[in-house]
C-alpha cells in the first residue's frame, strides 16, 4: 500500500478489487436488512441504513480513487474523503447532473448542490450515533418509531444511495 500526499492509503489493484466487492455487498446487505427491520426494529433499521451509506461511500472512494479508509476514525475519514473528492470540478459537475436527474424522485434535490451529498452522509452519521449510544434520559425514553425510520430512509438514505450508485468520477 502506498500513502499519497500523506492523506490517503492507496490500494494496489488486487486489494482494490476485493475491497470494492466487499463494500458493494455490504451496502446492499445493510440496505436490504434495514428495510426488513423498519417496522419491528426501527432503531436498528436506522443504524443499518447509515451503514449502507457508509459502505457505498467507501465503495465509491475505493473504486474511483483507490482510497482505502482504515478502521481508525473510519466514519469521519470517510466523510473527509468524500467531501474532498466531490469538490473536484469533474465530480462536482457529475454530482449536479445526477441530482438534477433525481429531482422528480427526491424533493431534497430541488436545489442541487454538490455539498448536499456530504451533508446527507453527515446527517446519516449523526442519526446512527443518536440511535446507537445513550444520549440522555429523555432520548433513552423516546422510542424510535417506524415512521421516523421510514422518513430517514426516504429523505436521507435513498437519495444518497441513488447518487452514489451512479457517481463514477
Domain ranges of the chain: 2-166
Q: CB of 149 within 8 A of CB of 113?
A: no
- According to CATH, the topology of domain 2-166 is 1.20.120
8-10 and 67-68: which strand pairing?
Answer: antiparallel
CA 54, CA 50: separation in Å to the nearest integer? 6
> Model pTM?
0.91
* pLDDT of the chain, 169 residues: tens digit per residue: 544 444 799 999 999 999 999 999 999 999 999 999 999 999 999 999 999 999 999 999 999 999 999 888 899 999 999 999 999 999 999 999 999 999 999 999 999 999 999 999 999 999 999 888 776 666 555 667 889 899 999 999 999 999 999 999 8
Which triple of cell numbers denotes residue 97? Answer: 447532473
Helix (H, G, I), strand (E, B), or coil: what is residue 4? strand
Please, which residues have CB within 8 angstroms of residue 68's CB and are 6 or more apart in sequence? 1, 8, 9, 10, 11, 15, 19, 62
Give, in degrees to the nearest 5, the angle at Cα 39 between 34 and 41. 65
Indicate the Cα dihedral angle 88, 73, 151, 102, nearest 10°: 20
Output DSSP code: residue 136. -
Amino acid at each position: 500500500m502506498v500513502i499519497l500526499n500523506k492523506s490517503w492509503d492507496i490500494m494496489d489493484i488486487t486489494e482494490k478489487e476485493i475491497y470494492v466487492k466487499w463494500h458493494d455487498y455490504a451496502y446492499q446487505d445493510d440496505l436490504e436488512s434495514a428495510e426488513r427491520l423498519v417496522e419491528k426494529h426501527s432503531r436498528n433499521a436506522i443504524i443499518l441504513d447509515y451503514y449502507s451509506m457508509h459502505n457505498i461511500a467507501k465503495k465509491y472512494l475505493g473504486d474511483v480513487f483507490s482510497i482505502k479508509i482504515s478502521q481508525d476514525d473510519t466514519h469521519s475519514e470517510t466523510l473527509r474523503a468524500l467531501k474532498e473528492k466531490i469538490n473536484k470540478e469533474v465530480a462536482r459537475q457529475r454530482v449536479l447532473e445526477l441530482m438534477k436527474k433525481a429531482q422528480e424522485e427526491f424533493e431534497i434535490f430541488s436545489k442541487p448542490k454538490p455539498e448536499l451529498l456530504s451533508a446527507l452522509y453527515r446527517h446519516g452519521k449523526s442519526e446512527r450515533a443518536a440511535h446507537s449510544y445513550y444520549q440522555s434520559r429523555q432520548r433513552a425514553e423516546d422510542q424510535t418509531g417506524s415512521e421516523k425510520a421510514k422518513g430517514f430512509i426516504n429523505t436521507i438514505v435513498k437519495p444518497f444511495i441513488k447518487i452514489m450508485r451512479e457517481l463514477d468520477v
